[in-house]
Structure 1
Amino acid sequence: MDARATDFWSSPDLAVQIGGDAPTPQDRPEAAMDWAFGLATPELRLFTTGVQRRLPSGPAATLGERARRFFSEYPAAAGGLEVSPRLLVGAIPFDREQDDCLFLPERAANRAWSPPFHRTSSPGSRRITAEPSRAVYQDAVGKALVCIRASREGAQPVDKVVLSRSLRLEADASFDAFALWRDLQADPSAARFLVPLGPGRGGAMRRLVGASPELLISRRGAAILSHPLAGSSRRSPDLSEDEAAAQALLTSDKDRREHGLVVEAIMDLLAPWCSDLRAPPGPALVSTRTMWHLGTRIEGRLRRPDEVSAAELAALLHPTPAVCGSPRDRAAELIRKLEAYDRGFYAGAVGWTNAAGDGAWYVALRCAEVCGRAARLYAGAGIVEGSDPAAEADETSGKFQAVLRALGVDEASL
């Protein structure tokens, strides 16, 4: 690997400038922050401002080729003196056929930007609407179970489908996406992200803000890593109850089957690209502030790393059975039938890739899409044979908590 690319990974305080000497726009001082992107993980901190050039958008299947063409048409700085390879940052939507949003920023650094935070991420008065309601969501889970059972008679039975629900928040003043990002730092092991998605209604910038516990894929030279999570249980403030919930999850046949589908799918998709690919024989417990998860660390080495970038690997894997189901196409069809809204970038992927092909992509979970005075939160649960509709609704309630707490909202009655 190029030494400069190694420096980018290993020097968390390294200041990075890319894209030549393009100045920060001066006609409107906040313009550079309109397109601010942030990703903070235990391995890497990446913060960018401004947008120098957007990647032509398209579906997941074409992302790798579009990224290669983009970097080939945008040459490195004269003399190859860039501290870091050129970058694309952004997000991939849940639906593989919808347009993604990636761009080359004007400035990038491994130190956080310092935007003018408001005192709180949550503006005064709020109106909260569950879409769908808990009762309607439980009914959808019941319908999913009927479809799963009926599919056994067909040539391609459905083993799992992930159903989500959302909360719509409306406020009298604009939500501060940067303060929400700051307030999500309660889970230091999660990947906190803030991703601009372009102007929404009324001209306000749409932003996806969250703290994801799940690594979809990272590439560092020939080394790749994926850490899928599937199978979850809500944590308890009571220590004995919390430990009991963790152990019940670890020994749950239903949750281990659900998790196994995800690991198998990822291993099958990555295997043709790898000279070495391995995973432990069973899942381990992974904790966040509000949830227990089953997780498996999958590691490998690419056979020909110059032929596939992190962005292309992310597009290959996405969406995994952890957020869609198995088999992918049939599960996605059921999601369109049973969910009454477009997921947008929820359960998509957020991250970065560079001209060397390195990068990291995280599943867009525990997040909200914020635009002006509106915010929409999402949470989902994997439905397999043996799922209980009330328990799956409880699981989504637990997953809402990370963002709701950061917003100062109590979701207990929703």
Structure 2
Amino acid sequence: MDGFVLSRPDHSVLTRGVRRSFDDAGAATHALSEGSATLIVGALPFDPSGATALYEPAEVTVTGSAWRSDTSVDLPHTHAVREIPSPADHLRRVEKLVTRLRDGDLGKVVSARTVELRAESPISPTALAARMATLNPAANTFAVDLSAAGTDFVGHSLVGATPEVLVSRRGNVVTCRPLAGSARRTAETEADRVAGDSLLSSTKNLAEHAFVTDWIRDVLGPLCSELSIPSTPELTSTHEVWHLASPIRGILRDPTTALELAIALHPTPALCGTPTTAALNVIRDTEEPRRFYGGAVGWCNNVGDGDWVVAIRCAEISADGRTAWASAGGGIVADSDPQDELDETTTKLRTLLTALGVSDTN
């Protein structure tokens, strides 16, 4: 795709063309600070040691509303061809993690799995993003070319509709709204209400959420003269999932840019675990590379303002458009139930699979 889309419910940033690209976040932040770039858009990978897909666009359009495509392109018939790892292997992986967590050297590790999809004709990233925006109007829809990250990503795109904002900056005000702790929604009204109420009182999920807010406090605290973090999370939802959320607001001491804040904050314990370095090493040792799933997608302008969202409920699309990889994960703590964790990933995958008309994989 020749462009970038980040559509939030109240505004959108759309670009076309590339003036220059950056596979290194430091080079991109330098271009903004020296004034040689007025806007940087793109994606950060899950693993901070990986190459970025950031670029200075040639054309920019900013709107004061959610984006809706003005063209209609049908999406092809698509089906699942492989699960990486298999459901049985994912269960065994989670069981091993729970044993390790009970030994006490880690607080939480996020375990993810991937579904490989095959399409009968090329998937248009823009058409998929438009479909996801229609199905998930309250989400943050994105589509980004990953070519800047190097040979393995040339022509690939990342497309998704995420409920989670990693960080936003406007002037000296910084806001976050982390999600951690989740429960499956149901079609029956009373059962759905009970599921949400149970999540709000779940010791396991509240502890998982606290890992994330504590991390954000540790990162943003030194950067802010004021930082407001709720003592307890609130309940929020997508069509498929209840989440625990915490609206966080801070006043920056110094003009740290939105891109610099995103680099400092990701990956949060919501996508990685805690302690962060130890959890990241476990993920590197036990999982296939996550590439840009679990990273961040966003924009930052030359005054430092910007939005970065967490790259979940998404898929990477191959250069020929005929293969896609959709991933989902869940936070594993000492009292996690492996089957529940597998079911949680299945539920989270529905946002992407529904957009492509693919039924559940297990």
TM-score scaled by length of structure 2:
0.94
Matched-pair contact (CA < 8 Å) for 2:132–2:355: yes
Within-5 A mapping of 1:9-408? 34-55=1-22, 57-58=23-24, 63=25, 65-71=26-32, 75=36, 86-111=38-63, 112=67, 117-119=72-74, 121=75, 123-124=76-77, 126-150=79-103, 152=104, 157-185=105-133, 186-198=135-147, 205-305=155-255, 308-339=256-287, 341-371=288-318, 372-408=321-357
Q: String of CA shifts for 1:213-257, please: whole Å, max 9, x gaps.
A: 111111110000011000001111111111111111111000000
**Partner Cα distance (1:266, 1:214) in 2:** 14
The verdict on how the C-alpha distance between 1:202 and 1:227 changes in structure 2, with shifts beyond 3 A counting, is: closer
Please tell me the residue identity of whatever aligns with 2:332: I
User: 5+ unaligned residues in a row in structure 1: which ranges?
Assistant: 1-33, 77-85
The verdict on how the C-alpha distance between 1:394 and 1:125 changes in structure 2, with shifts beyond 3 A counting, is: closer
Matched-pair contact (CA < 8 Å) for 2:146–2:154: no
Please tell me the residue identity of whatever aligns with 1:220: R
Q: CA deviation at 1:337?
A: 2.2
* Alignment length (residue pairs): 355
Q: CA deviation at 1:385?
A: 1.3
User: 5+ unaligned residues in a row in structure 2: which ranges?
Assistant: none
Matched-pair contact (CA < 8 Å) for 2:80–2:358: no
Please tell me the residue identity of whatever aligns with 2:261: L
- What SS does structure 2 have at the residue aligned with 1:205? coil
Q: CA deviation at 1:36?
A: 0.9
Q: CA deviation at 1:124?
A: 2.8
Q: String of CA shifts for 1:89-138, please: whole Å, max 9, x gaps.
A: 0000000101111111111112558575422x2x2353421111111111
Q: String of CA shifts for 1:48-82, please: whole Å, max 9, x gaps.
A: 11111113x22xxxx3x433421355548xxxxxx
Please tell me the residue identity of whatever aligns with 2:6: L
Q: String of CA shifts for 1:251-283, please: whole Å, max 9, x gaps.
A: 100000000010001011100000000111100
- What SS does structure 2 have at the residue aligned with 1:248? helix
**Partner Cα distance (1:204, 1:269) in 2:** 33
Matched-pair contact (CA < 8 Å) for 1:115–1:178: no
TM-score scaled by length of structure 1:
0.82
Q: CA deviation at 1:202?
A: 10
Please tell me the residue identity of whatever aligns with 1:276: E
Please tell me the residue identity of whatever aligns with 2:239: R
- What SS does structure 2 have at the residue aligned with 1:397? helix
Matched-pair contact (CA < 8 Å) for 1:36–1:195: yes
Please tell me the residue identity of whatever aligns with 2:169: R
Matched-pair contact (CA < 8 Å) for 1:47–1:113: no
Q: Which runs of 4+ in 1 moved over 6 A?
A: 199-204
Please tell me the residue identity of whatever aligns with 2:110: V
The verdict on how the C-alpha distance between 1:229 and 1:333 changes in structure 2, with shifts beyond 3 A counting, is: same
Matched-pair contact (CA < 8 Å) for 1:117–1:178: no
Matched-pair contact (CA < 8 Å) for 1:279–1:297: yes
Matched-pair contact (CA < 8 Å) for 2:29–2:260: no
Q: CA deviation at 1:172?
A: 2.8
Q: String of CA shifts for 1:171-208, please: whole Å, max 9, x gaps.
A: 23211211111111222221000011018989972110
The verdict on how the C-alpha distance between 1:74 and 1:118 changes in structure 2, with shifts beyond 3 A counting, is: same
**Partner Cα distance (2:85, 2:248) in 1:** 35
Please tell me the residue identity of whatever aligns with 1:105: P
Please tell me the residue identity of whatever aligns with 2:142: F
- What SS does structure 2 have at the residue aligned with 1:184? helix
Matched-pair contact (CA < 8 Å) for 1:144–1:334: no
- What SS does structure 1 have at the residue aligned with 2:18? coil
- What SS does structure 1 have at the residue aligned with 2:42? strand
Residue of structure 2 in register with 1:22 after alignment: none
**Partner Cα distance (1:387, 1:400) in 2:** 19
Q: CA RMSD in A?
A: 1.9
Please tell me the residue identity of whatever aligns with 1:71: L
**Which moved further from structure 2: 137-146 or 182-191?**
182-191
- What SS does structure 2 have at the residue aligned with 1:106? strand
Q: Which has the larger radius of gyration?
A: 1
Looking at secondary structure, tell me which structure has more strand per residue. Answer: 2
Matched-pair contact (CA < 8 Å) for 2:69–2:130: no
**Partner Cα distance (1:49, 1:163) in 2:** 35
Q: CA deviation at 1:148?
A: 1.2
